[in-house]
Amino acid sequence: MGIESNELASGAAACYLCGTTGARVLANRCRSNTPLRTVICPKCGLVWSDPLPHNPRDFYEDDYRVSYKGTYSPKPKHILRAGNVALSRHEKIRRLLANKMRVLDVGSGGGEFAYLLKTLGHDVQGIEPNRGYADYSIREYGLNVRVGFVQDVALPEKNLGLITIWHVLEHTENPFNVLLKLHELLQPEGMLVIEVPNIEATCQSPRSTFHEAHLFNFNLATLRKMTEKAGFAFSELSLSPDGGNITIMVQKKSAAHPEPLDLEIPGNAQKIIGIVRNHTPLHHYLTAPPYARLLRRIRQSLAEKRSAGSFSRGKALLDRLYSTLGHPSRGGQ
Ligand SMILES: [Zn+2]
């Protein structure tokens, strides 16, 4: 894996979380086995790709060219999969939902999660950089989605009650600035839900730990600290059963910067270095999770093919899937 934790990463940027210089090299290759220098801040444990392996915008531009040939439409089995993911996301955040909330879903993709919330009667907006996905979600589900990157999009409406950002923050070129922007869009005491991959995860193959599209890698401590720095108070967290994803819920504090925050996270860098170092291919394939994971994926794919087969429209499919949610906000409210 080429982990040289003591090697100083020459020319690396100052830490995006605590501002310290002197990042160390954590890895030199990514999952496609191409060179990618991943560094870690010795003071707080934030992990990032340095230098940035590509212009983050290009990644989506390419995606855009591939998927947007005239009119883009996802396959029913993909809508079903994304619909099931949306249901599990709803399960995670349902405690935060009040009646008819103003919600923003950042990186709304094909619109499945935003449509779920719309179905429940909420006032939902989306932002999505991929024009093909965004247009599909507008056309198929009648969603209010803006095409673009959250960093750039000017939203006229502020005072949002809830913002969700699922698997987007790790792709942005400055996640702290994104958090500041989201803070601005929320009403006082509004909630923000963030989900990112967990750098401490060992459920994936060690070769997949570093991904060229993931410019930043968090563990719970660094994610939490970054939200605190941006003016949020920690509320709760959940880890996916396999430990692969961190979901945290934070609340916008009424006062912007009440007291100076200590940005050092003692022991965090050493902890992460230890986990990455011990996650070797031999260790990984001697344990059961990879096989269980593979089996689960095969079963899921077969089930999706069976149940998605009879639907030609995404809306009909999701309406059926979401019908079990009930419609508490409907009917004269
Ligand atoms: Zn740092």
CA angle 45, 47, 52 (to 5 degrees): 150
Contact call for residues 1 and 206 (beta carbons, < 8 A): yes
Q: How many helices (H) and strands (E) does the chain have?
A: 10, 11
* Per-residue model confidence (pLDDT) at position 330: 42
Span from the CA of 168 to the centroid of ligand 1 (angstroms)? 21
Span from the CA of 50 to the centroid of ligand 1 (angstroms)? 14
CATH code, residues 55-257+267-278+291-325: 3.40.50.150
* Per-residue model confidence (pLDDT) at position 50: 93
Could you tell me the pLDDT band of residue 309, with boundaries at 50, 70 and 90?
A: low
Note the pLDDT tens digit of each residue in 195-253: 999 999 888 777 767 777 789 999 999 999 999 999 999 999 999 888 899 999 999 99
* Per-residue model confidence (pLDDT) at position 1: 41
Residue 322's nearest CA partner among 165, 151, 131, 89 is: 89
Span from the CA of 40 to the centroid of ligand 1 (angstroms)? 8
* Per-residue model confidence (pLDDT) at position 59: 62
* Per-residue model confidence (pLDDT) at position 64: 52
Rg value, the chain, Cα: 20
Contact call for residues 46 and 63 (beta carbons, < 8 A): no
Summarize the confidence of residues 54-82 as an average pLDDT: 71
CA 94 – CA 111 distance, rounded (Å): 18
* Per-residue model confidence (pLDDT) at position 289: 63
Span from the CA of 15 to the centroid of ligand 1 (angstroms)? 5
CA 87 – CA 113 distance, rounded (Å): 8
Phi/psi of residue 143, each to 5°?
A: -85, 155
* Per-residue model confidence (pLDDT) at position 81: 93
Span from the CA of 180 to the centroid of ligand 1 (angstroms)? 18
Could you tell me the pLDDT band of residue 288, with boundaries at 50, 70 and 90?
A: low
The chain-wide mean pLDDT, for the chain, equals 86
* Per-residue model confidence (pLDDT) at position 260: 78
Q: Which tokens sit at 6?
A: 């003591």
* Per-residue model confidence (pLDDT) at position 3: 44
* Per-residue model confidence (pLDDT) at position 290: 66
* Per-residue model confidence (pLDDT) at position 332: 36
* Residue tagged 């870690």 (tokens): 40
Summarize the confidence of residues 14-19 as an average pLDDT: 97
Higher pLDDT, 70 or 162: 162
Round to the nearest angstrom and report the end-to-end CA distance of the chain.
Answer: 57
Higher pLDDT, 154 or 287: 154
pLDDT of 114 higher than 90: yes
Note the pLDDT tens digit of each residue in 166-178: 999 999 999 999 9
Span from the CA of 23 to the centroid of ligand 1 (angstroms)? 8
pLDDT of 8 higher than 60: yes
Span from the CA of 37 to the centroid of ligand 1 (angstroms)? 17
Going from N- to C-terminal start, the domains of the chain cover 55-257+267-278+291-325
* Per-residue model confidence (pLDDT) at position 28: 87
* Per-residue model confidence (pLDDT) at position 298: 77
